[in-house]
Amino acid sequence: MNKIRFGLIGCGDIAHIRYFYSIPHFEEIELVGIYDMNKPFLQKTAEELGVKAFNSYEEMLDDPTIDAVIVTTYHPSHTPLAIQALKAGKHVISEKPVSVSIEQAKQLKEAAAQTDKVFMAMPNDAYPQIEKVKELIEQGIIGEVCAIDSVFAHHGPLHAPWFFDYEKAQWGVLADLGVYSISTLSYLFGPVARVYGETRCFEKRRVSDAGEEFIPSVEDNVAATLVWDDGKVATMRSNWCTGVHKDHGLWRFTFNGSKGIIHLDMARTDHPIIVVSPNCEIPGAEKVSFMGQDYCYSVSVGKVDNNDSVLELFLDAIKNNRKFPDNGCSIVRQNHVIEIIDRIYESSRTGKAYEITSKF
């Protein structure tokens, strides 16, 4: 197979951490060029990467040699840029959140349905750790899951103050961190039936990594409850108020079942999955001591690189000319996630709970 040639728009932190880092690991991929509105930064980045600096996004889309586009810009621009790329006949990865409104998400869903190109909607939930947890739950290792607690938190993206600016981001920590937990929960347990929550701005003044003081205009602290039709309940907490750097944040899930508990720590490279199983041993797992509890088992997932796994999935879909299933990395499921986030904001404004109407 010939190399799949990529263009990328938006050369900020996530572009460097995820895509510029991972692309060189794949012989099948070539990064042709990039675009960013900050022209001096664009030129500098293009020179560092040894790729073309496009003069505009339109020029990138008009390049017939480019097969796929990665969108890593400000949140509100994800949907229009992704639609533009799909209409130009490109495969697309859109960073999270794919949209900042239910209306936007529906537009993107329609655009993805009208093309034969692959559209990958972030977040990616098919990480090896999450796939292993899904397998353990489906095997009934901890019985029926009744309740889940999730948290994703750090002290905020202080390298990029635009995240805290409503005019540029529209959504705050829910779009940056909460979206991961919500997406994972929907991936593991299916469509959510009902939500309610609270969003607040806790830290009224911030100082960026560059030493500049600014006043946030979006939420930095969220707690929400998600309910499924079968009575399963999850708490979801996300904040930019926890005193750890963003590169060392808390990203944890606790799955409570009728026969045991699964602890998933996405930030750990060693022992990311611990199963508390008092009734039976876990085949192939290492018995360990955890939080003072006996009958705990560490389940191995092997070597994991969460950034590489994104491109692995995308490449596999393109090679096999196969769109993502509705319950996978698709806009269909992310449309559901966007509705959940939108209703959490609405719940915080009104104090009411809201039914979720979208399904997948």
Q: Which of 123, 145, 174 is the last residue of a domain?
A: 123
Residue 28 and residue 169 share a domain? no
Within-domain flag for 20: yes
SS3 assignment for 235-288: EEEEECCCCCCHHHCEEEEEEEECCCEEEEECCCCCCCEEEECCCCCCCCCEEE
Residue 288 and residue 206 share a domain? yes
Beta-carbon-side half-sphere exposure of residue 293 (alpha carbons within 13 Å): 15
Q: What domain range includes position 95?
A: 4-123
Residue 272 and residue 259 share a domain? yes
Radius of gyration of the chain (CA): 21
Residue 302 has pLDDT above 90, yes or no: no
Residue 206 and residue 238 share a domain? yes
Structure confidence by residue, pLDDT tens digits, 207-238: 999 999 999 999 999 999 999 999 999 999 99
Q: How far apart are CA 31 and CA 5, in angstroms?
A: 6
The pLDDT value given to residue 209: 97
Within-domain flag for 11: yes
One-character DSSP codes across 292-330: TEEEEEEPP--S--HHHHHHHHHHHHHHTT-PPPTTSSS
Number of compact structural domains in the chain: 2
Residue 136 has pLDDT above 90, yes or no: yes
Q: How far apart are CA 341 and CA 211, in angstroms?
A: 31
Q: Which of 100, 123, 146 is the last residue of a domain?
A: 123
Structure confidence by residue, pLDDT tens digits, 25-45: 999 999 999 999 999 999 999
Q: What is the pTM of this model?
A: 0.97
CATH assignment at residue 36: 3.40.50.720
Within-domain flag for 62: yes
CATH assignment at residue 166: 3.30.360.10
Within-domain flag for 327: no
Q: Which of 123, 141, 173 is the last residue of a domain?
A: 123
One-character DSSP codes across 55-96: S-HHHHHH-TT--EEEE-S-GGGHHHHHHHHHHTT-EEEEPS
Within-domain flag for 314: no
Residue 349 and residue 276 share a domain? yes
Residue 144 and residue 39 share a domain? no
Q: How far apart are CA 110 and CA 328, in angstroms?
A: 17
Q: Per-residue b/e over 344-358, b at no fewer than 16 CB within 10 Å?
A: bbebbeeeeebebeb
Residue 85 has pLDDT above 80, yes or no: yes
Residue 264 has pLDDT above 90, yes or no: yes
Residue 1 has pLDDT above 80, yes or no: no
